[in-house]
Every structure is written in structure tokens, then in C-alpha cells.
Structure 1
Amino acid sequence: MELSISLLLIGAFLPLWAALYWVLPYLTAYRHLKNIPGPFVAKFSNIWLALGARQGQKFAWVDYAHRKYGKVVRVGYNHVSIATPEGLATVYAHGNGFLKDHFYEAFVSGVPGVFNVRDRREHTRKRKIIAHAFSPAAVQDFEPHMAANLRRWVGQLDKIASHPTESGFAKMNMMPWCTFLAFDIIGDLAFGAPFGMVERGRDECPAEVAGKGITYVSGAETLNRRGEVSSTLGLLLPIRPYAKLLPDPFFHKGLQSVQNLHGIAVVAVEKRLDATEKGTLGEKQRHDILGMLCRAKDWDGKPMPQDELISEALTQLIAGSDTVSNTACAVIYWILDGERRNPGKIISRLQAELDAAIPADADIAEHFQVKNLRFLRQCIDEGMRLHSTSAIGLPRIVTDKLGVSYQDQHFPQGTVLSVPSFTIHHDAEVWGDDVEVFNPDRWLNLTPRQKIGFNPFSYGPRACVGQNVAHMELALIIATAFHRYDFILYQHKLMSSEGFSKKPDECWVGIKRRQQDGQKI
């Protein structure tokens, strides 16, 4: 009897609770957004957007909403997505004073890093310390570390290419090998030594795991799960403290990955600091990111404490491995897809440019040889546009007491705004009717809207601080790959899933060493 009464009370209370929690704010606090179109559920909560994140397809869900409802769409109870190049200046420009949304709190492990810190003054302090490590002059000092890992990479690709099928090409999935290379390079730059993924041909990194001590975990898989769960919980922050209790294993495994990823950074930083203290690095002053962070001082002349070093090194690991690996793989795919659709129009032109700049007997490209190659840069930019590794709209909170206006819509203080890069990069009104086609020559005559709308590294004061490193890595990887090898493409579509960044699921290609004057390059 008592149980029946309790169930009746719960049944009566739940609709009331739902009305108070979701409907009342819709009718009161957020009524200024009621005329903005969007999915019905999104008018009351972030659940619609969180479901897209849970499926690894938030970028696609938002893109669908814009195609259905227009350029300005309500994607959450207090969140509006603006899918125009002009929206970038409104939401991300210098001087607007917007804050990163609370969404970023779900990405913090340890202390906040430059990526997820929300306080503007603290971000300015961190960026001042970090920025000098990514200046063009500093980046040039990173090339020897990149080159050593790139040579190990081509050594492994040579072995794969030496076992061809009847077609003359060896079959391989390029995605994991791009991941191994990007992880090893950023490990070398951010922690002082590569993780050894290329050499082992496996996705594994040493990490400090609670209850297990130092053990090996899957670096890329850990990073992917961390991105997926953090992107989902960032939209559902009230349930974050209880997420590990949810029956969906997605949350438990994802939260464990957050801990494992932090553990990777802990082990790598402690190993580097220990080697520095003991003088066993073999160099008086190693030119890499962690070395610069260790030597840097803040406004008060104080060095970074170790917990902050770990967070910043972790930021570099995430940004430097995930974005470069995803983008490199996607650029290779789109170059090959462009060649498949226009035989003789893409690869022969790219290889002619590379052959004129890189000696035939060179095993890898050097940056001075390729940094100014025009067609190479066009191919990379077009691949970044089509894939859009940073695909989601990065949410910002309007902080001005007077609010902000976009076209005829006014957004008061507290509104969350974002601009989805994937949707802008695939907008036919901006890029033309061939928007879904790999056309590197579109970069020869960009319109003003195209220049504004190309947004692979975000925009404004919170734009990616490491984009100089990313451009350098991508130029070296793509140039080396297409100078040394011939490829054919085995798959008809590049499928992707999204955590914080968008990652190709796989990229199956055929590979063989190139021939020049009867000799292998």
C-alpha cells in the first residue's frame, strides 16, 4: 500500500518537476529566444545537442538543423548557432569580451589549461607564457624532432609498401599511421621523447592509472573517448558529478579515459623533469615546447608550477595529436578523391611541384623546401575545408550588459552563441555550387566571404596558439607522403565521428614507392 502511494506521488511529481525545470525557464528567462527556429526539444534543454554529441555526430546534427531552419538556429535552451562568415566576427572577435561557455569545464582534469580556462585574465597570463613557444622562430627549432619521427614513419610505410598485392599496391589503413606519427611528434615536442607508437606500430602510451601504477593505455582511443564524453557532459553539466553511475557504459569508460589521459601527461612530464634534473637528456637546452614552458615566467617572474605544466603539456598533447592526425589523414583522402574524380589533374600537378623542390634521393621533405609551395598549400587548405577537424561551434557567453546584436536579432547578456565551422565550410552560398568537390584552385581567387569563413583554427583571441606548428607538420607530412609514394583510394566516402574534434573512422589506400628515372624515390 505504502509503495503504491509512493509511486503515485512520484508519478504526480515528475510532470511538475519537468514543468518547473524545463518549461518555466522557456516561458520566463529565455523567452527572448522564442522566435528563433530550431528543433523542438532544443527550446527547453541541451538534451538534443547532447544526444548528437553522444552519437559522435554533433557537427552533422547542427548542420542538418541549419539546412532545415536557416542561418540562425536555436540548438539549446539558451544557445544559438549562427552559420555565417560574418557571425565569426560577432562571436569570436577581439574586444567583444565574450567568455568561453561553462561547456569547457567538462574538459578540465587537474587545473585548467590555456584551452579550457574560462577566466579572461588567467587566459591572458597563460597565453603570454605559451605564445613564445609557438612563434615562427621557435617553431623552426622543432623541425629536427619532427624529422626524426617522420623518418621512422617512412621506414614503416616502406615496409608496408614492400608487400604489394597483385595490383602492385600494398593495402593499408592510413588513419592509424597518421595517428602514430602525430602522437610521436607531439610527444617529442611536448614531453621530450616520442611515445614510440610508430616504432611499435601500436596505439599505446605509458600512463599513471589509479590503483595500477604506471601501465600502458591506448593513447588515441583514450583521447577519442575523452573528447566524446567531455563534449557530451559539457552540455549536461548538472549530471556530470553522477555520470559514472549512469547505466550507459559510454560515460564510465569515457570518464576513465579522462583520468588515463591525465595520467599519460603526468608520467611524461615527470620523466622529462627527472631527466632534466639528473642531466640525462643529452642536451644542455632542448628546443621543444615543454622546455620552453619550464623556462618561462609569468607576470610576477614566477615559473609554472608542476600541476600547471602537466595541464599545459596535456593541452598540447590533445591539440597536437588529434588535430594533426585527423587533418593529415583527411587531406590525403581528399587529394586522392580529387584525383579519382579528375584523373591526371591533382596528383601529377602536386608531385611535379614537390619533385622540383625536393631532391629525388631525399627520404623526407624539409620545411624550407616546401613551406612556400603554392599548390601544396592549396591542397592542404582545401582538405581542411572539406573535413573541418574543428567542426563544432565553439560556445561563447555574451558578457556585455547591453547584449549584442546580429542582423535584426538581439542577444542579451548571458546568451550562449557559437558559429559551426563545418556548416560554414560546406555552405554553397559561400563556396559555390561545387562546395562538396575537392577543388584546390578555388584558393587562387578567394572572395572576401570565403577569406572570412575559412576557420580551421578558430578566430580571435582564443584561436589555436599552435597553428604555426600544425601548418609546418602538415606541410612536411603531405609533402613527404606524395613525394615518396604513389597511392590509390579504396573507399568511396570518408566517414567521421566527433569528440571535440572530427576524426576519420578509417582511410583505406593502396601504397607503393614512386619511381623516377627507373629508380625508387
Structure 2
Amino acid sequence: MLAEIANIHPAFLLLAAVVGYYVLPYLKTWRLSDIPSPRFASFTNVWLLVQARQGHRFETVDQLHKKHGKMVRIAPRHISIADDAAINAVYGHGNGFLKADFYDAFVSIRRGLFNTRDRAEHTRKRKTVAHTFSMKSIGQFEQYIHHNIELFVKQWTNLSKTEGNPRTRYATIDALNWFNFLAFDIIGDLAFGAPFGMLEKGQDIAEMRKDPKAAPTYVQAVEVLNRRGEVSAALGAMPSLIPYAKYIPDRFFKDGLEAVENLAGIAVARVNERLRPEVMANNTRVDLLSRLMEGKDASGNTLGREELTAEALTQLIAGSDTTSNTACAILYWVMRTPGVIQKLQKALDTALPGDIDVPTHAMVKDIPYLQWVIWETMRIHSTSAMGLPREIPAGAAPVNIAGHIFYPGDVVSVPSYTIHRSKEIWGPDAEQFVPERWDPSRLTARQKAAFIPFSTGPRACVGRNVAEMELLVMAGTVFRLFEFEMQQDGPMETREGFLRKPLGLIVGMRPRSA
């Protein structure tokens, strides 16, 4: 038998291998063959991996939907459904869908609330973590947000004095960098007991330890987080490649995998510092880590050291560049849309006391136009722009979604970028920044249900309330105290990892005139 195989022409062996690897799996998913797909996406995950590697997956998928309609097959088992009627079917409570193997690429220390795929384990973790984000806890967190925004204001004020143009008084800054410093310092304060010190130093730097007993080294946390998100999103498109990624002759993967380790090392270092006996003995702080340590599952068990670190890492990731990316996008869209900044500043000046620099959440939470600006930014920018994949579990009954029958093993997602810019849902001005669309007298029930910046259902973002508090206070402060001029040409460029990240925003900044 072996001799016979040896005599077969290599071309036939190659053909047989191709048929076995690509064609047979395709035939197994023949039920999906009526759904349009680009090039070889229906045969292999490589197509989706390439789109993720290039950093513009959300745009490619959006263009495919514009060309082919509401359903597009973007991988052999993965169907993107650009239909707001499918949101509840895919992400809602009670459907039993699981997070797909895409999330395996985001595991480092161990599985946390974000990347746990098992339903029972997720329920246990969510019960342990959810109290951390209760309204009572959030109220106690505000002091840390407030303190860091005060330092942010101080640094911007100093910059305008020391680096401002003598004639215009505008200081040229990359606003993204400063929003990154602020967001990381806030989440450091919230999650680990102390800020990273980025605002104070005016630079991106963080301590890292590979294990609690290792000597500290220092890395650029923002860059580490960006690289980690990009490589994980790419490998998540083709999970079978994860064990072999370090051998890929593309620096993107090598640097990305190193970033995964370094990001985990940042969490290890911060938890290690926070749990030092002398720190714990005098600790009176109420922060995310203290709340996580108090949390208990249904059996009364608390989180172990490794699991605690994994969950703290989740909070670091979820609470840093999500906020800074959105803050940067708010500034961009407010600046580029005529009339918006004037309306926003008028609303803030009217609602806030004149002797207050950094308002409390209570002072800003009921300013309608400020809230509309934030919501409209989250709609048009969509920090989480891709469709989050959900798998129909084994043993489940076939399910009808948007008129198509799907079976166990099929993966479905609803692309938020496409939904948030749908003219069918938002009207002919869907591509325009219009805060007034959020006026309750104009907003439709369909639009309200189609707005999913934090996802929806049982796997929605547990930190939504903290994020919204942070953005309200941050935006209320920035536009109340400062004025800006755009100093870069063209649109704000972005690149997608797990999140859609601005690459920079060069503006002139100065304190507002009295």
C-alpha cells in the first residue's frame, strides 16, 4: 500500500490534500451555500484572517453587505447578518448561543468573564463579578474618575501656557495620547488601587512582571494593548492557527504574541502591588479589585489569585482604550461638524455652576445635548465595529434567523458598524453626525433597539455604567474648559483590532476665553 502511494504523482497528492482540507468541510456546510461570500471565504478562514490582519475587517464586511444584502458568508461556518431584527435572536437572553471559538485567541492568564465560552462557567463568573458594577459601587468609584480628570485639566492648562503658540495660544497636541493617558490612569485607579502615572509623566509607561516574584520591567501599555487586540482579532478569525502562530514569518504575529504576554504581565504586576501585606493592612479603598475580592459565586467561593488577576486584566482591557478611543472620536466629530461645539458649550455653560472645573456625574448626567453627543459618537464611530460571533451549540434545535435556517455548529454575528450606519434604520443622514436624532421626540423604537455599542443580552458589557459615567464627566469637562482647532488634514484614520482605534488626532488646544 505504501509503495503504491509513493508512486502517485505529487500533483495528485496535493489535489487530494486540497480536496480533503477545503472541499469536504465545504460540502458539510452545503446548507449555507446559498448565502453570498467573497472569493474563498466559504472554503477557508484564511480570507477573514487576512481582513483582520489588514485592520479594516469592519469596512470590508460593510461593503460586502452593501453589495450582497443582509447576509454574507465571511467564513465556512460564519454568517454575518446585517439585520437589526436579528440582534435579539443572536445575542438575546434565552437563545442558548455560545461565544464562538474566536474568543479562544483572547485567553492569556486563564479564561475571564470576557472570553469564557462555557455557559455555566460564565454564569458563575458573572455572579461573582456583577456586584462590582452595582450602582452603589459605581457611586464609590466616581472619586477616582474625578481626581484623574482634575490632573488631566491641570496638565492641559500647563501645556497651553508652556507650549502654546504666542499669537493664538493654541498648544499642538495629539489628543489621542492624552485621552489614553487619562483612561489608563482612571482604570489603574479603579482596578488596581493607584493610577499608572501616565498623566503625571505625560508618557505611556507601565510596570510589568511575568510572575509575582519576577523583577519588574517596563513597557508601553497603550502600544501593548493595541498589538494584543490586533493579533488576537486576527488569530480569532482562524483559531486553528493559534498553536502555530509563533512560527509565522510575519513580525505582526511575533510582536502581537509578545504583547499578549506583556499585557498579562502588567496585570500581574499591579495585582501583586495591590495585594502586598503592608498595602492590604492599611487599605480602605473601595475599588474594582476590592469588589472582585469580595465577590462570591453561588457556592460561596471567592476568586483565587490567578482568577482574580485574569478578571483584573479583563477590567484593564475593557476600561482603557474603549474609553480613550470613544473620547477621541467625540472630539473629532464635534470639531468637524459645524455648530455642534457651540451648542454643546452653551448647554454646559447653562447647566453647570461657574466655579466648578470638573463637574460631578450628578451635574452632567441630565444634560440632554451632552448625552446625545456621546450616543451619536458611539453610533457613528462604533468602537466595537465588528460582528461579535455566536455559535449555535450542539444539540440545539435549528433556528430561523432573518429568514434562513441555521443549525448547530453554525456561527452568526450582527456587524454593529453596518447596523449603526444603516440608512434603512437611521434615515438618509445615517452617515452624518446629528446629535439631535437622539431627541426622544425623534428617536424611534427601532433605532433605540438597533443601538448596540455595549452589545446586548447576557454577554453585554458589565461595565457599561462606569464607562458612561466616565465619558459624561470627561466630555463635560473638556468642552466646558477648552476650545480647539483642527490641525490635521483629512479624516481621522482608524485601525481595527478587537476595537476600532483612532491612530491619532492632532489638534490645537487652549483654555476657553472668559
Shorter-chain-normalised TM-score: which range?
A: over 0.9
Contact in 1 for aligned 2:176/2:502 (Cα 8 Å)? yes
Give the conservation status (yes or no) of the 8 Å contact 2:128–2:302.
no
Tell me whether 1:369 sits opposite 2:363 in the alignment.
yes
- Alignment match of 2:511 (pick from 487, 510, 513): 513
Task: From 205, 210, 221, give the equivalent of 2:223.
Answer: 221
- Matched with 2:111 is 112
* 1:47-87 deviations in Å (ceiling 9; x for gaps): 11111110111111111111111111111101000012111
CA contact (8 A) 1:297 1:304 kept: yes
Residues 117-196 of structure 1 aligned to structure 2 (within 5 Å):
117-162=116-161, 163-165=163-165, 166-196=167-197
Instruction: Output one character per residue of 1:183-234: Cα deviation in whole Å (capped at 9) or x when no partner.
Output: 1100111111111111111111100148983111110110111111111111
AA partner of residue 427 (structure 1)? S
Q: Give the C-alpha shift of residue 7 in structure 1.
A: 13
Instruction: Check whether the contact 2:292–2:308 (CA below 8 A) recurs between aligned residues.
Output: yes
**1:167 deviation in Å?**
3.4
Given candidates 350, 353, 357, the residue that maps to 1:356 is 350
- Distance in 2 (alpha carbons) for counterparts of 1:280 and 1:410: 55
Give the Cα separation in 2 of the matches to 1:452 and 1:44: 34
Letter in 1 for 2:396: K
**1:478 and 2:472 aligned:** no
- Equivalents in 1 of 2:68, 2:181: separation in Å? 40
TM-score, structure 2 as length reference: 0.95
- Alignment-derived partner of residue 18 in structure 2: 18
The match for 1:414 is: 409
**Which secondary structure state, in structure 2, belongs to the residue aligned with residue 252 of structure 1?**
helix
Runs of 4+ in structure 1 deviating by more than 3 angstroms, as ranges, are 5-12, 209-213, 279-283
Alpha-carbon distance in 1 for matches of 2:411, 2:264:
29
Write out aligned runs for 1:313-332 (5 A).
313-332=312-331
CA positional deviation for 1:11: 4.6
Q: Corresponding residue for 2:246? A: 244
Aligned to 1:392: 386
Of residues 494, 497, 509 in structure 2, which corresponds to 1:496? 494
Residues 278-300 of structure 1: CA deviation (Å, up to 9, x unaligned): 2467543x111100011122222
Tell me, in whole angstroms, the C-alpha distance in 2 between the residues paired with 1:226 and 1:10.
40
Instruction: Rate the CA distance shift 1:50–1:114 in 2: closer, same or farther, 3 A.
Output: same
Q: Is the 8 A contact 2:83 2:402 kept in 1?
A: no
Kindly tell me the number of residue pairs found equivalent between the two proteins.
503
Distance in 2 of aligned mates of 1:259 and 1:123: 24
- SS of residue paired to 2:458: helix
- Measured in 2, the distance between the counterparts of 1:96 and 1:65 equals 27
> SS state of the match for residue 320, structure 2?
helix
C-alpha distance in structure 2 between counterparts of 1:401 and 1:15, whole Å:
36
481-490 or 5-14, which deviates more: 5-14
Cα distance in 1 between the residues matched to 2:410 and 2:279: 52
> How far apart, CA to CA, are the structure 2 residues paired with 1:281 and 1:63?
53
* Per-residue deviation, residues 135-179 of structure 1 (Å, max 9, x unmatched): 122101101111111111111111222232243322111001111
Calculate percent identity across the aligned residue pairs.
Answer: 47
Map of 1:273 onto structure 2 = 275
Mapped pair 1:403 → 2:398: yes
Is 2:222 the counterpart of 1:259?
no
**Paired residues of 2:274 and 2:280 also in contact (CA < 8 A):** no
2:433 to 414, 422, 438: 438
Residue type of the alignment partner of 1:415: D
Q: TM-score w.r.t. structure 1 length?
A: 0.94
For 1:297, give the aligned amino acid. K
Q: Which amino acid is the alignment partner of residue 386 of structure 2?
A: I
Query: Matched residue of 1:148: which SS?
Result: helix
Question: Distance in 2 between the 1:73 and 1:193 partners?
Answer: 46
Unaligned segments of structure 1, at least 5 residues: 517-521
Q: Distance between the aligned counterparts of 1:7 and 1:222, measured in 2? A: 51
Cα pair 1:86 1:452 within 8 Å, conserved: no
Give the alignment's Cα RMSD to 1 decimal. Answer: 1.8
C-alpha separation in 2, matches of 1:260 and 1:9: 48
Query: Per the alignment, do residues 6 and 145 of structure 1 end up closer, same or farther by CA in structure 2, a change over 3 Å counting?
Result: farther
Q: Which runs of 5+ in 2 are unaligned?
A: none
Change (3 A) 1:279 1:242: closer
Classify 1:281/1:477 alpha carbon distance in 2 versus 1 (closer, same or farther; 3 Å). Answer: farther
1:253, 1:8 → 2: CA distance? 42
1:82 touches 1:418 (CA, 8 Å); kept in 2? yes
CA distance in 1, matches of 2:169, 2:7: 69
Corresponding residue SS for 1:438:
coil
SS of residue paired to 2:296: coil
Amino acid in the other structure paired with 1:226: R
Q: How far 1:401 moved relative to its partner?
A: 2.6
Partner of 2:209: helix, strand, or coil? strand
